[in-house]
Amino acid sequence: MTDALTLAWASGTGVVLGAVFFGGLWWTVRKGAACQRPALLFLSSFLLRTSIALAGLYFVAGGHWDRLLACLLGFVIARLIVTKLTGPPVVPRTSPVKESGHAS
C-alpha cells in the first residue's frame, strides 16, 4: 500500500474504534440509570471499551507514529460524529418554582 492509502486506512479504522468507544459510552450512560448495579455496568463497560480502543490503536500503529496519529485523528472525528448524532441531553421541562415571600 502507498503511504496515503495506509494513512487513510488507519484513519478509517480510528473512526470505527472511536464509534465503538463513544457509542458504547452513550449506551452505558443510557442503560446505567435503569440498572440494578450501575457501578458494575460502568466499570465493565469502561474496561471493555478501553481494551478494544487500546488494542486497536496498538495493532493499527504497528510501530509507526504516523499511523498512530492518523488513527487518533479518526478517533476524535468519531467522537464529534457520535456527539452530533446523539444530541444534547434531554432535560424534562418543569414548571418554574414559585418564590417564597421575602422576609420584611
Q: Do the domain assignments include residue 91? A: no
Residue 12 in domain: yes
Residue 96: what residue type?
P
Q: What is the mean pLDDT of residues 51-80?
A: 94
Q: Does some domain include residue 96?
A: no
Alpha-carbon distance of 60 to 15, in angstroms, equals: 12
The C-alpha cell at 104 is 420584611
Q: How many domains does the chain have?
A: 1
Mean pLDDT across 25-54 = 93
Answer for the pair 31, 41: CB distance below 8 angstroms, yes or no: yes
In a domain, 66, yes or no: yes
34 pLDDT tier (thresholds 50, 70, 90): confident
In a domain, 57, yes or no: yes
Instruction: Write the CB contacts of 79 (distance below 8 Å, at least 6 apart in sequence).
Output: 18, 22
Question: Quick one: CA dihedral 58, 60, 64, 67, positive or negative?
Answer: negative
Mean pLDDT, residues 19-23 taken together? 96
Question: Which structural domain range is residue 21 located in?
Answer: 3-86
Q: Is 94 part of any domain?
A: no
Q: Is the pLDDT of residue 9 over 70?
A: yes
Q: Within a domain: residue 20? A: yes
The whole model's pTM is what? Answer: 0.79
Please report whether residue 100 resides in a domain.
no
